[in-house]
Structure 1
Amino acid sequence: MTDVPSPQLRISDQNRESALSALGEHMTAGRIDIDEYGERSARITAAKTRGELVAIFADLPAPHPRYEDVPQAVAAPEPAATPGPARPRTPDQWSPPQRFVAAIVPLTWIAAIVLIAAVSGALWPVIFVPIGLTVFGKSMWGHDWNPNHDHRDRHLRDRERRRELRDSYRDHRRGLDR
């Protein structure tokens, strides 16, 4: 039995994303032009098996699509880590000041609302205390406190675009077959 997976195995959306990413690198490097990128990306979105992806990359050097279920000995080497924003830390990894701010912010909001209501609105400037504390807490966590905010929306848009390309490619192929 061989370690290389069969070309008849079906591919996943993750495999298609990997192939589109690799194809984009080839276009950036100037190996293919925009028209060929469009044709090949439509073929990638319509592909159903690994053999179809292999055929699309047959005349191109690495990078090629990666498959998540390929044994480590066969998988392509991981690209070097590029510097970028750090992954957000989970609450159990927060520093003591972050834990303090996370605990005190809701309490200051409640206290400010109670004070304003109890004194008939005469202490309305108290509201700036929890606002300032909230802004301070946000500066401690940065913009990436929610790791799924933009990534999920972009993923859904990309997946819908791939499906549109796949469908248009299939419609085009049906028109040629008639």
Structure 2
Amino acid sequence: MGEQFPGDKTIRVSDTERSAALAALGQFYAEGRLTMTETDDRCEAVANAKTRGDLNAIFFDLPNQEIAVVDRPEQTYTASEVAELHRKGARPRAGIMGLTTVAAVTGTAVLATTSPLAPVLLAIIPMVFILLYIMKVGPASWHTPTSRQLQRRRMMELREKEKLRDMELKAQRKERTHALTSRALDAAETAFETKPWKKKR
């Protein structure tokens, strides 16, 4: 059984240790030791791990090497902090969306008797929605992703790596097949050239 996280197995896991475990799983996946499905399952297990013993159990069939837990210089956030940032970012967007809806509906009602173009004001609502939620216009703090979105993004990156690795393996197999075929043809040609009936009489 691996001891990637040595020490007291009952110690609770930190976010830094979880990040190191995820990075190690990504490395083992890149080496071909884990499939995409296995990596997915183990990443989820890392997210749910409570103690160092739980983390060690995830690496039970992988090379036994201590995983270095290094504090990253860039700022990192816990899952609860990410969720709170997402909630704070959602508030101004929801406020703008609400005010836009109220203004468009009120303006349409007020101008309905005086202008035939009043309903055009309602088009502002989907336009603002597209700007805020699809084009993500506004400060970056408004669009902080949720922890689920971050995990989904990581899974997409791993899948892209898997596709690239599969393409490289296919190209290597194709090259080997071509080389073997060429050698077989050369051997057959050599054998044909050395047949008795090819000798001069």
User: TM-score band (shorter)?
Assistant: 0.3 to 0.5
Report the TM-score when normalising by structure 1.
0.39
Of the two structures, which has the highest relative contact order with CA contacts closer than 8 Å and spacing of 6 or more? 1
Report the TM-score when normalising by structure 2.
0.36
Q: Say which structure is richer in helix.
A: 2
**Greater gyration radius:** 2
